[in-house]
């Protein structure tokens, strides 16, 4: 928008008082803005106001216009106003103020944000479920097995336990601890003379 408005500002200066040239340039600017936004909905045009200074070609209302119906129903956040720096030539001040309707852009951004939020929530739920399952399988289940073994040994340290019938505890580290408990139990039994 900014570059196109700056270009129209240069055309505004170049045109001087040639109303036909200025009108054709403004028409091309309007059609470019309509194509840029994919503007097929006439109720919400992309370019909603245009003000070229100095005022000239008074009989041609197509050059300076303001879509009051659209502007009156728009929030300030949905409007983008681009004003060019005024240039003084021969006592005349040349400038452009263009107002753009960003409603469709805002709607698209909001919709993309909602899709991103749903995706992030889905991934959080999926990964937390995966993490919980891994924690249960790799950490909690082996510790619960070791606690069951310790409880059995604490109740009757002289009993001959069949540790092989118990489920295998997780990975290498927890399995090493379980084997150590089994060996300590065997040493206890030898110490008590069983």
Report d(CA 18, CA 56) in Å as an integer. Answer: 9
CB 9 within 8 A of CB 94: yes
Helix (H, G, I), strand (E, B) or coil at 96: strand
In tens, the pLDDT along 42-62 reads 567 788 888 888 887 765 556
| pLDDT higher than threshold 90 for residue 114 | yes
Residue bearing the bigger pLDDT, 117 or 186:
117
- The confidence band for 41, taking pLDDT boundaries of 50, 70 and 90, is low
- The confidence band for 40, taking pLDDT boundaries of 50, 70 and 90, is low
What are the structure tokens assigned to 90, written together? 């021969």
| pLDDT higher than threshold 70 for residue 77 | yes
What are the structure tokens assigned to 79, written together? 């409007």
What are the structure tokens assigned to 44, written together? 């919400």
Residue bearing the bigger pLDDT, 165 or 86:
86
| pLDDT higher than threshold 70 for residue 65 | yes
């Amino acid at each position: 928008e900014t570059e196109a408005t700056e270009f129209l500002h240069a055309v505004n200066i170049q045109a001087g008082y040639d109303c036909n040239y200025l009108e054709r340039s403004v028409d091309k600017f309007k059609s470019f803005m309509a194509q840029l936004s994919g503007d097929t909905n006439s109720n919400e045009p992309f370019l909603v106001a245009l003000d070229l200074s100095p005022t000239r070609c008074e009989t041609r209302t197509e050059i300076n216009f303001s879509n009051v119906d659209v502007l009156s129903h728009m929030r300030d956040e949905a409007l983008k106003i681009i004003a060019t720096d005024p240039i003084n030539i021969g006592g005349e001040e040349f400038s452009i103020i263009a107002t753009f309707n960003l409603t469709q852009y805002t709607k698209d951004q909001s919709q993309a944000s909602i899709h991103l939020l749903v995706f992030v929530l889905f991934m959080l739920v999926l990964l937390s479920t995966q993490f919980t399952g891994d924690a249960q399988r790799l950490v909690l289940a082996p510790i619960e097995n070791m606690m069951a073994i310790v409880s059995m040994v604490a109740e009757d340290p002289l009993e001959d336990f069949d540790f092989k019938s118990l489920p295998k505890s997780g990975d290498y580290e927890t399995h090493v601890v379980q084997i150590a408990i089994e060996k300590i139990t065997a040493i206890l039994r030898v110490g008590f003379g069983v």
